[in-house]
């Protein structure tokens, strides 16, 4: 158990809909990262937040948005869903001072299926 | 931009040694990390190299050559439970922090 909690674990929805994925980082970790993993693919970096502020952005679609709240939990919002958005969405956290290391703690992921 | 290349699949037998290579291109570089992921589970951190050389952690070792933009993960005394996907990742400069970019992963199959 990494200490990173993601909900929901599984989500099935239809095209055109909107969903929100939630992540609670490890206690004390200020950074939250979101990654998308499609079937048999690598981990695509979406976005990073640090203590409530956006720090880095990857190839995140305009239909996707995220935020980190004062209690440090984060939400990833996916709208106008398409079949290709079906994937595992991982949240990860890292503590302050680990910004230059490669150690992230990953949650178990949210598996999104768009029908 | 950043790119990483690693083999898509590697097969080895139990008890053997296997090396998974990773080459990278990135603007700005902090270090190279390795992660293990079992079938759709959470990726777990294995090692991190910021300086040239070999880092050993039990049966796993990781090597980095910054001048060659190259690294590898060495797994010794392979066990069946080592069957998993292995990802290299680079910490690349992004503003005042570094985002972690992953390769496409190498699927390791350990056979009896």
pLDDT for A57-108, tens place per residue? 888 999 999 999 999 999 999 999 999 999 999 999 988 766 666 789 999 9
How confident is the prediction for chain B on average, in pLDDT? Answer: 92
Residue of A nearest to B99 (CA): A56
Residues of B within 8 A of A48 (CB-CB) are: 97, 99
How far separated are the first and last CA of chain B, in Å rounded? 41
pLDDT at site A100: 64
Q: Does the pLDDT at position A35 exceed 90?
A: yes
Residue A31 neighbours by CB under 8 Å, 6+ apart: A25, A48, A49, A50, A51, A55, A93, A94, A95, A96, A98, A99
pLDDT at site B34: 96
Q: Does the pLDDT at position B96 exceed 60?
A: no
Residue of A nearest to B101 (CA): A45
Cβ-defined contact of A104 to B101 (cutoff 8 Å): no
Q: For an interface test with B, give the residue of A5, A42, A89 to mutate (most B CBs within 10 A).
A: A42
Given pLDDT bands bounded at 50, 70 and 90, which one contains residue B97? low
Given pLDDT bands bounded at 50, 70 and 90, which one contains residue B26? confident
Greater pLDDT, A34 or A98 = A34
Give me the mean pLDDT over the A14-32 stretch. Answer: 96
pLDDT at site B13: 97
Residue A109 neighbours by CB under 8 Å, 6+ apart: A6, A9, A37, A88, A89, A90, A91, B40, B41, B42
């Amino acid at each position: 158990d990494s200490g990173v909690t993601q909900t929901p674990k599984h989500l099935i929805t239809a095209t055109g809909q909107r969903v929100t994925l939630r992540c609670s980082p490890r206690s004390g970790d200020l950074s939250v990262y979101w990654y998308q993993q499609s079937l048999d693919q690598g981990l695509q970096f979406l976005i990073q937040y640090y203590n409530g502020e956006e720090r880095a952005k990857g190839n995140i679609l305009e239909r996707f948005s995220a935020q980190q709240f004062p209690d440090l939990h984060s939400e990833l919002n996916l709208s106008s869903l398409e079949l290709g958005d079906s994937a595992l969405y991982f949240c990860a956290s890292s503590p302050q001072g680990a910004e230059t290391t490669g150690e992230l703690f990953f949650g178990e992921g949210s598996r999104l299926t768009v029908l | 931009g950043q790119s990483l290349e690693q083999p898509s699949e590697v097969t080895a037998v139990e008890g053997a040694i296997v090396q998974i290579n990773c080459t990278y291109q990135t603007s700005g570089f902090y270090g190279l990390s390795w992660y293990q992921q079992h079938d759709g589970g959470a990726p777990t951190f294995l090692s991190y190299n910021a300086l040239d050389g070999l880092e050993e952690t039990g049966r796993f070792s990781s090597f980095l050559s910054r001048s060659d933009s190259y690294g590898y993960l060495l797994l010794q005394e392979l066990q069946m439970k080592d069957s998993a996907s292995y990802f290299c990742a680079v910490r690349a400069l992004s503003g005042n922090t570094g985002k972690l970019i992953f390769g496409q992963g190498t699927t390791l199959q350990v056979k009896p």
